[in-house]
Amino acid sequence: MGFWSKAVTTFRRRTLDIKNPSGWNGGDARPAGEEVTPSSVLGLSAAWACVNLIAGTIATLPLMVYRTKKDGSREVAKDHPLYRILHDNPNTDQTAVDYLEFVQSSLEFWGNSYSRIVRSGEKPVSLLPIRPDIMSVDRDDRGRVRYRWSEDGQYFERFDDTVLHIRGFGGGPLGGLSTLSFARDTFGLAMATDRAARETFRNGMRPAGQFVFKEFLTPDQREQLDERLTNKYLGAINAGRPYIAEGGAEYKPISINPDDAQMLETRGFSVDEVCRFFGVPPFMIGHTEKSTSWGTGLAEQVLGFQKFNLRRRLKRIEQSMEKRLLTPADRAAGVVIEFNLEGLLRGDSAARAAYYGAGLKDGWLNINQVCAWENLPPVEGGDVNRVQMQNVPLTEAGKEPAATPQPGAPKLRVVGSE
């Protein structure tokens, strides 16, 4: 058994139980005194923003089914039964965006996503998502991967041919590694810091000052002083009201800078840590403390996020779906499942214009293809690919144009033709 298989098996034996967090990997059940659960982690604005960004971006990309033709080109296989399931309607309750957001959120938190495949014969007709926290995965006596869970009063036992299992980072045969488990200390510290900030600001950042007495007060004197201060000076309406100090009392203001307590610095560090676990540049969730909020440097970071973060997540989904949803006949026919990354350009008109311009100029796009993507009607003659230099069809490129005689030019007579 390899390293990752052992790691995943160990994790599965100590699998996350929302009602009993002490089962997490044998570590501290309440790091920093906080109970780390999916709900509490989503209460962290950084975690919410990271998961929302990743899941929302992936869910809104068009998930397409393509068929490879004999000449090597591909076409959208709208007649394939999987097209409507993956592109529009995975089940009776969810849209494709809802379903994919659930899938990706499960991957971000638990490192696994599960869906029950409902088939009619060999043809999939529906994908029903399953909560990862209720799933138990092991192998049966025959070595098959077995999935068991209870939901809505029903007990299910299925095998890998009827369960779409998408594994996250470090995914062994039994599952991926849970971010909730491995990042629980970071999440616990962030929640503890937020709680400390709430408690600090509940009654004001700090007391404005203190009354110093040379002698100890009697219980009656202390109670009288507290009552007097509360009745006459507590609340914004009494701000600035002068206080008459008696009996040798001396008032001393208290001045503590919040940065001295490192509250703000600790909270900012927690945001960076959460972003690091999810692989999201901090500025993409509004944390611009250490960088400018615009410029070419951030543009490069966005491209890096797409290349090194989104790409590997998309490939996990694509390959898992191809493995479990396509039949041998589909594979023989060249059917593939892929996200259309051009969907990222929909909100950027300048990037779309540059992309279309390059394709039209170099001849690998034609006008009607661009019109179809932009929901515009086709134009006459727009189905022919053209090149920029002479604006002629590709089939005519490189041919010498026929000579056109100038008006009034004398006709050439070939000797011996008469």
- What's this model's pTM, rounded to 2 decimal places? 0.66
Flag the least confident range among 68-82, 88-102, 217-231.
217-231
* Average pLDDT of the chain to the nearest whole number: 76
Q: Residue 283: pLDDT band by 50, 70, 90 thresholds?
A: confident
Could you report the per-residue pLDDT of 3-22, keeping only the tens digit for each?
Answer: 444 443 443 443 433 333 33
| pLDDT value of residue 80 | 92
293: pLDDT strictly greater than 50: no
Q: Residue 413: pLDDT band by 50, 70, 90 thresholds?
A: low
Could you report the per-residue pLDDT of 97-113, keeping only the tens digit for each?
Answer: 999 999 999 998 899 99
Flag the least confident range among 166-180, 195-209, 358-372.
195-209
Could you report the per-residue pLDDT of 309-343, keeping only the tens digit for each?
Answer: 888 899 999 999 999 999 999 999 999 999 988 76
Query: By the 8 A CB rule, do 124 and 80 touch?
Result: no
Give the span between the Cα atoms of 90 and 96, in whole angstroms. 6
| Mean pLDDT in residue range 280-290 | 72
More confident: 247 or 182: 182
The strand order across the sheet containing 63-68 reads: 74-76, 63-68, 335-339
Q: For residues 373, 379, 384 and 389, what is the CA-based torsion angle, rounded to 10 degrees?
A: -100
145: pLDDT strictly greater than 60: yes
Provide the angle, in degrees to the nearest 10, between the axes of the packed helices 311-325 and 45-59: 50
Query: Is residue 291 helix, strand or coil?
Result: coil
In 20-122, alpha helices (H):
38-42, 45-59, 81-87, 96-110
Give the span between the Cα atoms of 330 and 323, in whole angstroms. 11
164 Cβ contact partners less than 8 Å away, ≥ 6 residues apart:
113, 114, 115, 116, 117, 127, 320, 321, 324, 325
Instruction: State the maximum Cα–Cα separation within the chain, in Å, rounded to a whole number.
Output: 140
24: pLDDT strictly greater than 80: no
| pLDDT value of residue 156 | 94
| Mean pLDDT in residue range 245-258 | 61
384: pLDDT strictly greater than 60: yes
Distance of CA 156 to the CA centre of its chain: 30
Query: By the 8 A CB rule, do 104 and 52 touch?
Result: no
